[in-house]
């Protein structure tokens, strides 16, 4: 019975799968933030270039 409990404890203490999931979530969050930043900056930069082109 002790060996079964020890095996379950070892299985519970393994965190390699959890770290991969955490890295995947971090990469997804970073990608979403980058896309939002590029979208916002792209619109602002386009407006600035249009103003410059209009004044030329």
pLDDT in tens, 11-24: 766 666 667 888 88
Provide the pLDDT for residue 32: 96
Tens digits of per-residue pLDDT, 22-34?
A: 888 999 999 999 9
Nearest partner of 32 among 40, 21, 22, 20, judged by Cα: 40
Provide the pLDDT for residue 19: 78
Provide the pLDDT for residue 33: 95
Supply the pTM of this predicted model: 0.52
Sequence-ordered strand ranges (E) for 1-56:
none
| pLDDT > 70 in the chain, percent | 84
């Amino acid at each position: 019975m002790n060996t079964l409990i020890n095996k379950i404890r070892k299985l519970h203490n393994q965190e390699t799968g959890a770290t991969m999931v955490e890295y995947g979530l971090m990469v997804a969050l970073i990608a979403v933030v980058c896309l939002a930043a590029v979208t916002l900056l792209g619109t602002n930069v386009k407006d600035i270039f249009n103003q410059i082109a209009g004044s030329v």
